[in-house]
Structure formats: structure tokens, C-alpha cells
Structure 1
Amino acid sequence: MTTSDGRVIHQLADGDAVFVAMETAEAPCHIAGLSILDPATRADFGFETFLEVLSQRIALIPRLRWKLREVPLGLDCAYWIEDPAFDVREHVRRVALAAPGDRTTLARLSSFLHAQPLDRARPLWECWWIEGLESGRIAVLIKLHHCLVDGQSGMGLTEILMDLSPEPGQTPIAATGAEEGLPRAPKPWEMGRRVVENGLRRQARMAMHAGRALRAFARVPTALPGALVRALPQSLFAGDEEIVPRVSWNASRLSRHRDFAFTKLPLSPLRELKKHFGVKLNDVLLALVGGALRSVLLERGELPEASLVALCPVSLREAGDQSMGNQLTSMPVRLATHLADPVERLRAIHESADGAKQRTREGAFEFITALGESLAPAALHFVMQTAHRAPRIAPMPGNLVCSNVRGLPIPTYMAGARVEELYPMSMLQVGSGMNVTAVSHDDQVDVGFLVDPRLVPDPWLFADRLAEVLAELEAAAARTTAKPPRAPRVEIPAEGEPVDLAILMATVRRKRGPR
């Protein structure tokens, strides 16, 4: 809605408002990226240099200068307004690691910083410059509230801070797309009118979602509370899906603490496995995660008979959409942790993922999305708080969230320093004390394990196990016959387009297209 002064009233979309309503002290709803930089690629690289480039790039992202204005009594979604006191230095902090500055020390500090909620009275992001790493490296931790971005748009925002060479250019790698204009706070009568209009819209959507929910619950028992499923005869269900088994990190409540572990894997072997077995790259990543979970749980005597289930976010963005905000859904994929053979596990995951994608394309019912579109923020907040206090009566569609975000397949630089590693730190959801997120970039895959340390005392056991599972899968591939490769996709540059740019963008499209 554009006003006479050219400003725009920006209201949170339902999908973004969910992350505000569901946030608690135990489950803050922000995501982060931990970049490890090599300062040797620019002689004058330092904190002030980084801050100067960051300030220039923030000017290209208007939404990072906005803050939330809540609607009284939570009757409607909040509004974005410009922060008149915005100062980039208020969002950038400088800290140093204690000796020895190794990966464990970095992970411990990063997880502590990540556990702290963002201040809603200010724009919902912050940046931490971390010095003291071994070998003279610098780490940069950038936190963003999930109501601002989803995983892919968050990656795009990070790329705005990056360049293709050590010399920062005038134009960054990525752009956010056109913003709708500078925001202003709605007048009381405008806010009141929207409360009524949006309230009527929510009632209509509630009726629509109620019908879809009944049909979905009749098909998929994992969409129902576990206690109710066990109390009902299985003959009521049309499908043959198993109930999601509970493991140690599917406890009743989360603590306010976080722990973090990370590892990097070469991308080339994963591509070879993808080609060899005729599966998606995401299937290979899920097979590695499933193998690591199986291995650790088996050692502890905690491996359930039924397969663990990962909730995998799926982007709903159209090609070329670089806007911020959330455009995603999720699909449950069985990780085949009950299978000892790594090849059987990979093929089972591929089959499960294909089935989940088909159900997603058919418009599978999304419980949280339906709540966000049907309830006012105050009611949604009450429902989510109740779920946090008693998650065993809430739906548990998966054991953990497992996500894969595509980055650029070429070297990148931040304020002149080479980005050597880029570890994602996501968020934990009620009922699940583990999240695994991977970022593929520059011919490697960086994987982050975010956990509640009360439920997962040593996340490094899982992170370090990935390399072993990869070696096991490679050895198994050497003993099996390769699947015939598909014909390569040919992309023709547009007329007049520079050849080098065409090659680069074709590469990026291949990386970010369906896998």
C-alpha cells in the first residue's frame, strides 16, 4: 500500500510472522552463517576495512535498516518501519578467541553467540568479527532473524557482501531485487482496518485448511499427535507410513543453550556418487547424514528399529527471485537408518525423497503454514507456546531438520579476504534438539550441526563421522555397477551476452537448479 508521500506500508507476510509468533527464549528464530576468512589475500585487510565494505553493502539492503512495529494485543501481523537511529556500528561487535583458537574454541564461542536472541527493538540482525583463530584466520558470524530471510535468500544476502576478486568492486555478486519503497508506520485507522480485513481472510482460510487437515490426517499418521495415533486403530489410515520414532534429542523441551560442530567435505566425490547411482546430490548428502546418525546411535545402543525422518526445507522461489522473506515448505524424508548397507540406504533415501517431492507438488498439507494463515499472531503465539510446554501432544513429523543451501561454485572474497569456509547455523524447533545444514560452494560442502547440548552432549561425534561414511559409500560404489548417465543439459547464452559471464551464470544456474 503506497501513501501520498511515496512511502509504503510493509506488513509481515503470514509465513514470516510465524517465526515471530513461535519464538521463545529456548527456541530463538534466527539463522546465521559462520565464515572463515584468509586475510592474506589483501594486504590492508582488517576490522575497519571490513566495516567500511559492510557499510557500503548494507546500503543496498534496505530491509536491514528496518525494525518491527507490533500490533496492539497481537491482533494482526507486525509492520516494518525504518529505524531512524540506525547505525551499522551498533550491529557489529568485535571479539577475540581464547587460546588456542582451534575449531572447538571457535565452535564454542559461535554457539554461545548464536544462542542469544536478537533485540526486537532494533533491526533484526547482528555481525560478530572474531579474531584469534589459529593460522591468523578471521571468522565472521552474521545472524539474521528468520522473519527476514529463509535459507536461500539468506545465502543471497551473504553473497551481497562478497566479490569475485580480492579487490572489492562497486557491484556485489548478488542483489536483493527491487524493494517496494521506504516503509512507514500505519496510522491507527489504517491498522484497525487491516485488523478487520485480515481477520475475515483468516476465518476463510481456517475453513479451507480444516478440510485439508482432515484429509491429510487420514492419509498420514505422522501428522497426528503420537498419543492419538497409538490410540486409534491402524485400519483408519489409508497409507502405510510408520510413526516417527523418538530418539534422545527428541526430548520434551529445549534448553536455552546451544552447541555447534562443523566439518567440510570435498564436493567432487559427492558429484561422482550422484552420477554413479543416478540420484540427486541432496540424496547423497542425506545418505551421509543418515549414515552418521546410524553409526553413532548404534554405538550407543540407541538405534530405533524404524528409520529416522529428516524434515527437508524446499524452496518455493521462482527462478530469478532474489527477494527476501520466506518462500519455503518442507518434506519428510526417511533416512533409512535401519539399513546397514550404504547403497541400499542411499537408494531408499532417493525413493523416499522422490515420493515426498511428489506429495509436495500435489500440495501436501503443511500444519505450521496452515496455522500461520488461519490464526492471528496472539492466537498463534499461544498455540506455539503450548506446543513448547507440551511437545508430546504436538505433531512430530521428523526427528531433525536437514537442509542443503546452494552457494556459488567459485572462489569468493569478503572485503578482500578469501572465504575459505562457510558454515550454516540454523535454528532448533520444539521437540528436536538437532539441526543439520549444509552449504555447497567453491567445490566443497560445509556442514554445520547445531544442537541443544543437554540433549546432544558431543555434536563432533556426528560431524566427524561424515567423512567415514563418505569413504564407506565410495568403497561400496566401487563394487557396484554405475547407472547410465543422463544426457547433459545445454544452455545457450543470450545474444550479445559476454562469453565469460554466460559461462559463470550457466554454472550458477546448474548449481542452483533442481538436483
Structure 2
Amino acid sequence: MAESVPPPTAELRLLDSGFIELEDSDRHISLGIAAVAIIAGEPPSRDEFSHTLTRGLERNARLRQTVRRAPLDLATPVWENDPHFDLAHHVRWTALPRPGDEQELCELVATEMEERLDRDHPLWQCVVVERLAGDRWALIVKAHHSLVDGVSGISLFEHLCDPVSDPVAAEAENRAAPESPGSTAARLLGWAGGGLRLPVALPRFVIGAVRGLTPVALAAFTPAADSSLNGPIGRQRRYVIARPSLSDVRAICAAFGVTVNDVVLTAVAAGYRDLLFGRNERPAPNKLRILVPVSMRTEQAKDVLDNRVSAMMPFLPIDVADPVERLSTIHARMTEHKSRDEARAESSLLTVASRLPFAPMAWTLRLMARFPQRSVSALATNVPGPRHELAVCGRRVLQLLPAVPIAMRLRTAIAILSYADQLTFGITGDYDTAPDIGVIADGIVREIQRLREHADIRRLPPPDIAGG
């Protein structure tokens, strides 16, 4: 594949630059997003791994670019080519003490999530963990949130893996290729037609945007009930994982007519319910409003390194004790949020805001980031990962773990990632104020087991009352 040549400079999108402003507002936070691959066999040699990374860089020219900001943020920050790019700045080799088990790996991931990426260089890093128990090694790929969101972050990881030989996957990649001149002409015609429809479409857009943004604005500025989940955070992190059965989740979806996201959020609600009980806090109905990112990325933009997300902010029914009732409540609430098209309205607002002068927008973002928010108490982001198995340097990726940062007084954050036939919850917590995040992990697994039992009962055939 020919190396992609980036333009000398390219402006950051408003949301991308917003994550830089957010990180600058709190010296305790680092906004790196990570994917942790557990890989079979012995680690590659340094030359072999460097060759693999170099091939991946050919597919992501943005990985050779740094962020340049204007004085006083009077102009939009830009990505510009790093004239002194050196791959060695972005690769670190380490090893765990024996036995190199999962707990020690999680402790290493927590440490990596604490460290800020160096803005003098492109905002990504790879850490090769040379020794894990069971003849395995690990690869931690971390990139700044200004560079990737969940979907593009996983796409970035895939580009650092070996090329996929699966013809179905190759066909999907071809479908995402740059558009042809003919399709550009068709798009121009579409713009012309859109201009003729503008007098009708604009009022409809405004009404839809107001309808969608009103509940989002109310949620953003209405404090939730006091909770130990929301408050100042320190610099150190904790990290734990939960691995419920993906086949169980699919069986629950089929039995109750709900989505995977409904099941995931129900399990998250159960985990937080257990956590609050363990802290002697009453899980009230308005106790836990959660931020749920929603991808606005099209299939054609899957490989573009930037942020294309919006969000919904529902209350989780942590006051509901019965798992099935909790699932039903989640499903109803998420359906209501989707029906108001909140995520699309918020995305439209970001699009409009990005066309305004950058300086006042940056100063506003910086001011807002310094105000302590009390409306949201947690974050849960669900990212669909690769359905096919991956390999790095010819070695099979056995597991893929997600890790997301915490910020804005959120003392915990949960990333959910599917990979092949696996489902993994990666839970990040503040070291001092969330020492018990293992309770969330245990509650997630237990909830899905309970829902699977209810799903099996629901699918049982009715008894034959006419029999003997």
C-alpha cells in the first residue's frame, strides 16, 4: 500500500480541540484512550515490531502529526507534519514481575492511564509488555482523545495489526475507499437540490433541534442527587475488567426483545447499585445520571482519526431491585431518548458551533471545564470491536481490553468492547476515592448471569397440562 501523504496542516474539529482544553483544565487528568491486546506466544523482536508499526503508519498519516496551537487560541489548532518524527519516541518495552498475571497487567494499565502524552510529539504511544503468564505477551496502544474516539481508536489498533486475509473484511474495506469523481458530482447535485429544499427543511431542522436539545440541556445543568461517585479526583488510577459471556447477552436480547446496549447498561446499573450499597448509600431514582456516548460516524469515515460522537444522559434505574424490571426500565428510557433524537440534535449543534470564530469558543470551553459539574456521575461507552480475530506480527490476539480516562469529577468510567466472540468491560477508577471498583465488575457479571437465567425460563415451553 502506498504511503498516505497528509496535508501540511489541517484544522482540528471543535470536539477534538475541546479534549485538549479539558485536559488543560485539570492537572490531575490524562485524556488517553487505550486498547490492551493480550497476544499468544513470544513477543516479536524490536526490529520485527518496528516493521509492523511502520506499515501501520502508512495507513494513518495523522500519526506523524503534532498539534500546533495559536497564541491565546486566537485561531483554530492545526495538525501539522512533525519534521523530526522518530518512531522510537512512541514505543516502550517493559515486563511484569512474575507471575505476570491479570492483576499485575491491570495495575500496569492503570499506571499508563495516569501518564499524559507528550504534546511535542504525535499523540500516541505503544507499550510492549514482554512477559505474561501462560506464554503470552501484551500490547498497550494509547492515543489522545483529541486524536481518536472509541470507534476510530479501535480502527487505529486494527491498522497496527497484520493485514486481514478474510475476503469479506477486504470487501468491506474496499467499500470504504475514497469516493470516485462520479460520486462527487452526484454529491454536488445533491447540494443543489438541498438548496432548493432549504426553505422547507430549515424550520423542520430548528424544531427538531430544539426538541432534541431541550432535555439534553436540562440534564447538563440540573444537578443529580449527591453521590460519592462525583467529586474531585486525584492523579492515580485503578483498572479492573469484567468478562461476561457475549452469548449470554445475545440470548437475553433474543428473549426480551432488547438491544445489546440495553443489556450492557442494565449490567452497569446493577454494578453501581452494588457499589452504592457497599458504601452505605441509598440508590435513589435520581442518584446516577450517566453519560452514554453515541457514535455519529458513518462507515465511510470509520478510519478517520478524529471524534464523531454525541451523547445521551439517562438516569440509570439503580433503585430497581429486580433484574428483569431493571432491563425493561432501561429499554424504555433509552427508547425515549432515541425518539427525541437527542444525539443527532447535539451533533448538529456542534456542527454549527464549529463554524463560529474559534477564540470565543475555546475560551468558553476552557471556562466551562473549570466549573465543577454535578449533573453526571459516571460514563459508559459501548464500542463494537472487530468480529474477526486479529494478529500482531503473526501472533494471534487472544483478548482485547478497553480503557478510558476519567475527568470532570467522574470518579469512574466504563468502556465496553466486543471482540470476536468476547465481551469485555474495562473499568477505570480514581485510586483514592474508588478503591472498590471491583464491586462494579462483580455486579456486572452477576447481573448478566441472572438475566440469562430469566431468559432461559422465558423460553421454556409451556407445561403440558393435558398430560397424565
Q: What's the TM-score, normalizing by structure 2?
A: 0.81
Aligned equivalents of 1:309, 1:256: Cα separation in 2 = 24
Deviation at 1:148, TM superposition (A): 1.3
Say whether the 8 Å CA contact 2:211–2:340 is kept in structure 1. no
Deviation at 1:7, TM superposition (A): 4.6
Aligned equivalents of 1:220, 1:119: Cα separation in 2 = 34
Aligned equivalents of 1:218, 1:442: Cα separation in 2 = 36
Q: Residue 278 of structure 2 aligns with which residue?
A: 299
**1:62 lines up with 2:40 in the alignment:** no
Say whether the 8 Å CA contact 1:34–1:142 is kept in structure 2. yes
Aligned equivalents of 2:265, 2:82: Cα separation in 1 = 41
Aligned equivalents of 1:172, 1:83: Cα separation in 2 = 33
Deviation at 1:415, TM superposition (A): 1.4
Q: Residue 17 of structure 1 aligns with which residue?
A: 17
Deviation at 1:296, TM superposition (A): 2.4
**AA partner of residue 339 (structure 1):** V
Deviation at 1:224, TM superposition (A): 1.9
Aligned equivalents of 2:369, 2:83: Cα separation in 1 = 35
Q: Residue 188 of structure 2 aligns with which residue?
A: none
Deviation at 1:476, TM superposition (A): 2.3
Q: CA RMSD in A?
A: 3.3
Deviation at 1:357, TM superposition (A): 1.5
Deviation at 1:267, TM superposition (A): 1.1
**AA partner of residue 23 (structure 1):** E
Q: Residue 142 of structure 1 aligns with which residue?
A: 141
The structure-2 alpha-carbon separation of the partners of 1:67 and 1:270, relative to structure 1 and needing over 3 Å to count, comes to same
Deviation at 1:47, TM superposition (A): 4.0
Q: Residue 316 of structure 1 aligns with which residue?
A: 296
**1:437-476 to 2 correspondence within 5 Å?**
437-476=415-454
Say whether the 8 Å CA contact 2:311–2:343 is kept in structure 1. no
Deviation at 1:354, TM superposition (A): 1.1
Aligned equivalents of 1:245, 1:255: Cα separation in 2 = 22
**1:32 lines up with 2:34 in the alignment:** yes
Residue 319 of structure 2 aligns to a residue whose secondary structure is: coil
Deviation at 1:76, TM superposition (A): 1.9
**AA partner of residue 355 (structure 1):** E
Aligned equivalents of 1:361, 1:452: Cα separation in 2 = 30
Aligned equivalents of 2:171, 2:32: Cα separation in 1 = 24
Deviation at 1:256, TM superposition (A): 1.6
Q: Residue 353 of structure 1 aligns with which residue?
A: 334
Deviation at 1:54, TM superposition (A): 1.4
Say whether the 8 Å CA contact 1:216–1:223 is kept in structure 2. no
Q: Residue 256 of structure 2 aligns with which residue?
A: 277
Aligned residues: 423
Say whether the 8 Å CA contact 1:161–1:172 is kept in structure 2. no
**AA partner of residue 356 (structure 1):** H
CA deviations on 1:330-375 (whole Å, 9 max, x unpaired) are 0123321110000000111111111111223684447994896487
Deviation at 1:220, TM superposition (A): 5.9
Q: Residue 232 of structure 1 aligns with which residue?
A: none
Among residues 294, 309, 323, which one is paired with 1:342 in the alignment? 323
Q: Residue 102 of structure 1 aligns with which residue?
A: 101
Deviation at 1:266, TM superposition (A): 2.3
**AA partner of residue 238 (structure 2):** D
**AA partner of residue 78 (structure 2):** Y
Aligned equivalents of 2:349, 2:117: Cα separation in 1 = 22
Aligned equivalents of 2:225, 2:398: Cα separation in 1 = 38
**AA partner of residue 147 (structure 1):** S
Say whether the 8 Å CA contact 1:247–1:304 is kept in structure 2. no
Among residues 251, 265, 268, which one is paired with 1:289 in the alignment? 268
Aligned equivalents of 1:77, 1:33: Cα separation in 2 = 29
Unaligned runs of 5+ in 1: 180-207, 227-243, 484-515
Q: Residue 194 of structure 2 aligns with which residue?
A: none
Q: Residue 507 of structure 1 aligns with which residue?
A: none
**AA partner of residue 135 (structure 1):** G
Say whether the 8 Å CA contact 2:406–2:428 is kept in structure 1. yes
Aligned equivalents of 2:408, 2:16: Cα separation in 1 = 18
CA deviations on 1:33-83 (whole Å, 9 max, x unpaired) are 11111126xxx8444322221122112210000111111211122111111
Aligned equivalents of 1:291, 1:10: Cα separation in 2 = 44
Aligned equivalents of 1:177, 1:123: Cα separation in 2 = 25
Residue 466 of structure 1 aligns to a residue whose secondary structure is: helix
Residue 409 of structure 2 aligns to a residue whose secondary structure is: coil
**AA partner of residue 16 (structure 1):** D
Q: Residue 409 of structure 2 aligns with which residue?
A: 431
**AA partner of residue 219 (structure 2):** T
Say whether the 8 Å CA contact 2:402–2:417 is kept in structure 1. yes
The structure-2 alpha-carbon separation of the partners of 1:303 and 1:51, relative to structure 1 and needing over 3 Å to count, comes to farther
**1:121-200 to 2 correspondence within 5 Å?**
121-163=120-162
The structure-2 alpha-carbon separation of the partners of 1:215 and 1:364, relative to structure 1 and needing over 3 Å to count, comes to closer
Residue 321 of structure 2 aligns to a residue whose secondary structure is: coil
Aligned equivalents of 2:381, 2:281: Cα separation in 1 = 24
The structure-2 alpha-carbon separation of the partners of 1:174 and 1:126, relative to structure 1 and needing over 3 Å to count, comes to farther
Deviation at 1:465, TM superposition (A): 2.7
**1:330 lines up with 2:311 in the alignment:** yes
Q: Residue 506 of structure 1 aligns with which residue?
A: none
The structure-2 alpha-carbon separation of the partners of 1:65 and 1:6, relative to structure 1 and needing over 3 Å to count, comes to closer
Residue 57 of structure 1 aligns to a residue whose secondary structure is: helix
Say whether the 8 Å CA contact 1:15–1:372 is kept in structure 2. no
Residue 382 of structure 2 aligns to a residue whose secondary structure is: strand
Aligned equivalents of 1:140, 1:291: Cα separation in 2 = 31
Aligned equivalents of 2:432, 2:370: Cα separation in 1 = 17
Aligned equivalents of 2:9, 2:17: Cα separation in 1 = 16
Say whether the 8 Å CA contact 1:162–1:172 is kept in structure 2. no
Aligned equivalents of 2:61, 2:150: Cα separation in 1 = 19
Say whether the 8 Å CA contact 1:95–1:128 is kept in structure 2. yes
Q: Residue 182 of structure 2 aligns with which residue?
A: none
**1:247 lines up with 2:227 in the alignment:** yes
Among residues 262, 283, 286, which one is paired with 2:241 in the alignment? 262
CA deviations on 1:235-262 (whole Å, 9 max, x unpaired) are xxxxxxxxx33321201x2212211111
Unaligned runs of 5+ in 2: 180-204, 462-468
Say whether the 8 Å CA contact 1:263–1:446 is kept in structure 2. yes
Q: Residue 47 of structure 2 aligns with which residue?
A: 48
Q: What's the % identity of the aligned pairs?
A: 29
The structure-2 alpha-carbon separation of the partners of 1:132 and 1:166, relative to structure 1 and needing over 3 Å to count, comes to farther
The structure-2 alpha-carbon separation of the partners of 1:374 and 1:280, relative to structure 1 and needing over 3 Å to count, comes to same
Q: What's the TM-score, normalizing by structure 1?
A: 0.74
Deviation at 1:461, TM superposition (A): 2.1
CA deviations on 1:295-321 (whole Å, 9 max, x unpaired) are 222233213311522211111122332
Residue 86 of structure 1 aligns to a residue whose secondary structure is: coil
